[in-house]
Structure 1
Amino acid sequence: MSDRAGTTARNGGRPWGPLERLRRLPLRSRLALLTTVAVAFAVALSAAACWLITRDRLTGQLDEQLRNVEVQPSSVQALSAYCNNALDAVNFQPTPYTIQLVSAGGYVCTAPYKSPIPAQRADTAVAAGRTNAAVHTTRARDGAEMRVWTEPYGGALTDANGNRLAISVAVPMKQVTDPLNQLAVVLLIVAGVGVLGAATAGLWVARAGLRPVDRLTDAVEHVARTEDLTIRIPAEGDDEIARLSRSFNAMTAALAASRDLQQQLIADAGHELRTPLTSLRTNIDLLVRSERSGRAIPTADKEALLTSVKAQMGELAALIGDLQELSRPSAPGQSAVDVVALHDIVGTALERARLRGPSLTLTASTDPWYVRAEPAALERAVVNLLDNAVKFSPPGGTIEVRLSGGELTVRDHGPGIPQDELPHVFERFWRSPSARSLPGSGLGLSIVARTAEQAGGTVRLRSADSGGTEAILTLPGAPTPPPAMPNG
């Protein structure tokens, strides 16, 4: 009572239906049960078809046997005499069949020592001449099931009222029902064995088929319990289970790589933050000690300290901004992508670069180019490319900027990058040994590479022919903006 009440309560106040009970079973049990039901249905359908076909064949053979029975005229005359009390039963020759005369009014006269068979409408129709013959199954008065064949009698045979008679020949249906009953028993036993075997085979197949799923479940539970992303599941073949195993292995590998990158990013960020923080703390300690001790720092030294503190704070702010940019989601659909005029962004970035390098000469040649990208991220990427060129250009140098056909080229005339360092320039926090004394976090080019990838483009650095470095950012787009989408 309590279990039923608890089940009803969990199901919203109503008892579980058959489908709901089936869904609550384990998958292995459901597969075995469905296999058993399917096999049972197929076996039952086959057994029923076999039984029906056998019954029809046996009944047809019995009908053919009845049609071929030749009733001698002498037997008919004797039966007629017996029906008219002109012949005693003891003088009537017995036959293996039940023979009787049928009138159109439904009167029957049966041979002696045989149970009368009530006339059916089909029999009277034959006697009345409306049909040529009739065959049917009915019961005699003693309850025996009989197969009856009725046809008109060819001789001049009438009843007491002068009506013509038909003659019926019948045999017990035991010739058909007994083999059918034996066949039904055999089919029932075979079907039972088949269903039992199907249930056993279904359970075995379900266990064997779901064994990879069990391994996958164990692996998922192990990962959830231990956070161990190194676990892998063997994947053999090309079926759905193997595909699922390979997908799980790829997912754990991607998660492990993402976690490693996250840990590396945290470690690198901590390392990069430690240097400016240490320098900043040292300078502030000097200023505090000077105030507490009353020993004034020379004005020039104090201004140098304050300038250094300001520069270090700016470096910290830039590093934090770069980290925030890298921590933003990079999956498609998570950023506000819009049609952006790349030539306008290049123009804005050039103005900022001229302010940061007032002694440099910046030349620009920009053709119109429209791309689909996140505006803020794209502007940050272009600014990073120009800032990199400003940082490595000598005083009084020239920076050449060209935008043509979706390819933005930024050329400086600085010291250039050695060939062995070019593969590392887009790695996070990587800085050339010759540039470690310059301000920067080592994240600028990483941001450029990520933005280019999100926009479907590429970025690369190469050494210029006459010295310096060329940064080439290529983005897909068009020289004219796409037509505006209609409202609504």
Structure 2
Amino acid sequence: MSPAARFRALPLRSRLALLVTVAVAVAVAGVAVVSWFMVRTQLKGQLDSSLRSTNASAQANQTLPQLGCREQVPGAIVNNLSAQVQIVLPTGGRCWVDGKNTLPVTGYDLEVARGERGPVLYDGHTTDGTPVRVYTQPVNVTGPVGGSVAISVAKPLADIDKPLSTLAWVLLFVCGVGVVGAGAAGLWVARTGLRPVDELTGAVEHIARTEDLTVQIPHDGDDEIARLSRSFNSMTAALASSQERQAQLIADAGHELRTPLTSLRTNIELLARSEETGRAIPPEDRKELLASVKAQMTELAALIGDLQELSRPDAAPPARLEVVALHEIAQSALSRARLRGPELDFASDLEPWYVRGEAAALERAVVNVLDNAVKFSPPGGSVEVSLRAGELTVRDHGPGVPADDLPHVFERFWRSPSARALPGSGLGLSIVARTAQRAGGTAELRAPADGGPGTEALLRIPGAPAPPPAGRPDPAEAGRPSVVPDQ
């Protein structure tokens, strides 16, 4: 397993603590290294300054006349400079002046002694191998061998190496303490910061184990964790509502199915008993019985179809979207409504209107609206249907819907007290509202604008009065944010 894979395999708390520790360790190490180099530069600068300020030329003017530039044994002259000092002649010879050890003559020294370059600073070593910092400068001396020579002054690098070594150990100790402290702080921060996540995890596990959607996570503030908690609470509330609606749908469906099934079972039992006992049912009664069985089967089929339509998720995309002529769909639905209400007078005024949607679903919705008008129209009454600018209006002249019931007419299985004796499942208007919403429109049921009897059903679906030309956007996209319809 690669290091990255092993890192991802760690718990989130461990990863956060490790990241904090590494970040602090890198920062502390960076500060320590920069500090060490800054101190080293400062100490080296101070050492160079002290070498430059050493009055070695006066010592050389005293030494050359006395010694005649002969190498002397160390210690022959008192060390007044706290450094190794020697004179370098242009010929490459040297005269020891002061200090415990002599210095090898380098090319830098010869170039300075011969006047080929100015003063120079460099790292070197004494004849016994002691590291030193050397400063060589040209001087003019008097005496038997007077003239232009170079004088080299050296001080041991131990003067800065020892403090730097001590500083390095101190910084290393500080880094260690910082890393350990960062690890502890990172673990504490990870535990504290992830405590709400732990609570969220516990809540999710509790819901998965008990299916209890009433669990709510407390949240304070407006940070990311609080937003996550609020989102989780909203999700559980939506799931609880969905679960409740599902349970209500099942209960309502069972209640609606019980009535036609009970009637169907009773009729079939009567027919079966007649066959078993040999007692014939009168022809008229048998005809009515079979008609009732047929009606109950039709009602069951319609109810199952409505349930299948409502079982589709609201967020699911339509099965097939196409540009359809809403006025043609309304005309076809009107023809079917005339067959179901032959005693009614239908008046229609349908202007061309093209929409984008599912043709079958739209036709079902219009049929449901017309069936509702047929159902509540009195014998010999009239139904007025109009389609203008994408607004389909169906007006009946029945008893109307009480104002208190209007907010509930699009609820599933809801039926007004006056309609419970009439055939129907209570799902027709729910399907109308759902179809209109999926097509980008709205559905509404209201009292007539003229104050007369009856009810007006309005179905508004965005579109255009003409189909789209080839290569042009759909006119049915009118009313949608991203499409401008042809007008």
Give the TM-score normalised by the residue count of structure 1. 0.91
1: distance between equivalents of 2:206 and 2:263? Answer: 45
What amino acid maps onto 1:51 in structure 2? Answer: W
Equivalences for residues 206-221 of structure 1 within 5 A: 206-221=190-205
Q: 1:276 to 1:81 in 2, by over 3 A?
A: same
Change (3 A) 1:476 1:310: same
Unaligned runs of 5+ in 1: 1-15
- Does the CA-based 8 Å contact 1:108-1:116 persist in structure 2? no
Q: 1:171-227, CA deviations, whole angstroms, 9 ceiling, x for partnerless residues? A: 112221222222222212222111111111110000000111111111111111111
Matching residue's letter, 1:120 = T
Match of residue 407 from structure 2: 423
Q: Where does structure 2 lack aligned partners over 5 or more consecutive residues? A: 474-487
1:62-92 deviations in Å (ceiling 9; x for gaps) = 1111111112545445257547438776653
Closer, same or farther in 2 for the Cα pair 1:89/1:456, shift >3 Å? closer
Q: 1:203 aligns with which of 171, 184, 187?
A: 187
Rounded to whole Å, the distance in 1 between the matches of 2:72 and 2:343 is 149
Q: How does 1:82-121 map to 2 (within 5 A)?
A: 82=67, 84-85=69-70, 91-95=76-80, 96-104=82-90, 107-111=93-97, 114-121=100-107
Aligned 8 A contact 1:272 1:441 in 2: yes
- CA-CA distance at 1:237 after TM superposition: 1.6
Q: 2:464 aligns with which of 459, 462, 478?
A: 478
Call closer, same or farther: CA 1:89–1:39 in 2, change over 3 Å: closer
Structure 1 residue aligned with 2:128: 142
Counterpart residue type for residue 98 of structure 1? Q
**Contact 1:78–1:87 (CA under 8 A) maintained in structure 2:** no
CA distance in structure 2 between the partners assigned to 1:210 and 1:88 by the alignment: 76
Contact conserved, 2:377 with 2:397, CA < 8 A, in 1? Answer: yes
- Establish whether residue 260 from structure 1 lines up as the match of residue 235 from structure 2: no
Q: How does 1:266-285 map to 2 (within 5 A)?
A: 266-285=250-269
Alpha-carbon distance between aligned partners in 1 of 2:274 and 2:143, rounded to the nearest angstrom? 151
For this pair of structures, how many residues does the alignment match? 470
- What is the CA distance between 1:135 and its match in structure 2? 0.6
Q: Please, which moves more after superposition, 34-43 or 393-402?
A: 393-402
> Percent of counterpart pairs with the same letter?
60
| Correspondent of 2:362 among 351, 354, 378 | 378
Alignment-mate amino acid for residue 152 of structure 2: S
Q: Distance in 2 between matches of 1:408 and 1:158?
A: 128
Report the more deviating stretch, 350-359 or 379-388.
350-359
Residues 44 and 377 of structure 1: CA distance in aligned 2, closer, same or farther (over 3 Å): same
| 1:324/1:107 CA distance change after superposition, 3 Å | farther
1:193/1:389 Cα in 2 relative to 1: closer, same or farther (>3 Å)? same
1:129 counterpart residue number: 115
- 2: CA distance between counterparts of 1:147 and 1:454? 88
Residue 326 of structure 1 pairs with residue 320 of structure 2: no
Task: State yes or no: 1:51 paired with 2:36.
Answer: yes
Task: Give the AA of the match of 1:207.
Answer: R
Partner Cα separation in structure 2 for residue 37 and residue 290 of structure 1: 90
More moved, 419-428 vs 331-340? 331-340
Distance 2:61 2:341 in 1: 135
What's the C-alpha RMSD, in Å, of the aligned pairs? 2.3
Distance 1:75 1:109, change over 3 A: closer
**TM-score, normalised by the number of residues in structure 2:** 0.91
- One-letter amino acid of the counterpart of residue 280, structure 1: L
Q: Secondary structure at the match of 1:114?
A: coil
Q: State the distance in 2 between where 1:384 and 1:80 align.
A: 130
Shift of 1:119: 3.1
SS of 1:147's equivalent in the other structure is strand
Q: 1:306/1:72 Cα in 2 relative to 1: closer, same or farther (>3 Å)? A: closer
Code of the aligned partner of 2:102: P
2:209 paired residue among 225, 228, 237: 225
SS class of match (1:21): helix
Matches within 5 A, 1:331-350: 331-350=315-334
Question: How far apart are the structure 2 equivalents of 1:158 and 1:345?
Answer: 129
Aligned twin of 1:30: 15
Greater alpha carbon shift after TM alignment, 336-345 vs 80-89: 80-89
